[in-house]
A and B are shown apart, each in its own frame.
Chain A
C-alpha cells in the first residue's frame, strides 16, 4: 500500500505570497490532519478533516486554511506569507481518527521557506 504523499516537497516563497500544499492519504483513510513543525515551537496541530468536513482546528490565524476533497485528498493554503511561516508542514492520515487507538501515518512533509 502506498504511504501518505505530499507535494511539493520543497518550496521557496517570498513574504506576502500565498502557497498551496497537497496531501494524498493512504488509500482507505478518510481523516487527514495537518501539522506545522518548527525548531522553536515543535509540532503544532493545524486542522483535521474527515469526509470533507473540518472537525477540529488548532490555534493558527485565519491565513491558514484547508479543505478536503471527496477522494480524501487534502490541501492547505497559507495566504500572505510571513517569515515565521517557514516550517516543515506534515500531513497525517488515519482510517477515521475518531476511534480509540487510531494511528496517524505521516507523509514526508513539505519544507516551506519564506524569504
Chain B
C-alpha cells in the first residue's frame, strides 16, 4: 500500500529565511506532485516530478526528487509572506488512476 508522509506538518518562519519540506513515500512511484492550497481555496499545481534527480524551480520554490530514497523536497529560498499556504505532495503510479496525498505542511511566514 502506497503511503505518503510529509514533514514537518507545521512550519512558522521569518521572512528571508530558507527552509525545506520533506515528502517520503513507501513504494515505487513514477510521478510526484506538489500542490499549494490557500485557506478556504482549492489546490494549485506547483510541480510535477517524473524521474530520479528531477529538479524544478519556480521563483523562490524548488522541488527535487530522489526515487531511490523515495524522497522529494520542496525548498523555499528567502521566504516571503505571500508563500504562506499549505503545501501538499501527492504520489501516484501510471498503473493506478489515483494519487495518494501527504497530510500537508502548513507554512506561516511572518513579516
Contact = CB atoms under 8 A, between A and B. Distances in A.
A51 interface: no
Contact of B43 (A48, A58, A90, A100): A90
A64 interface: no
A104 B43 CA distance: 10
A98 B98 CA distance: 10
B97 A104 contact: no
A58 B97 contact: no
Contacts of B44: 106
B98 A100 contact: no
Nearest to A48: B97
Interface in A31-55: 31, 33, 42-45, 48, 50, 55
B101 A42 contact: yes
Majority DSSP secondary structure for residues of B touching A: strand
Interface residues of B, number: 23
Interface in B16-31: 30-31
B42 A97 contact: no
Nearest to B44: A106
Interface string B33-69: 1010000011111001010000000000000000000
Contacts of B90: 43
Contacts of B83: none
Interface of B: 30-31, 33, 35, 41-45, 48, 50, 88, 90, 94, 96-104
Interface of A: 31, 33, 42-45, 48, 50, 55-56, 58, 90, 92, 97-109
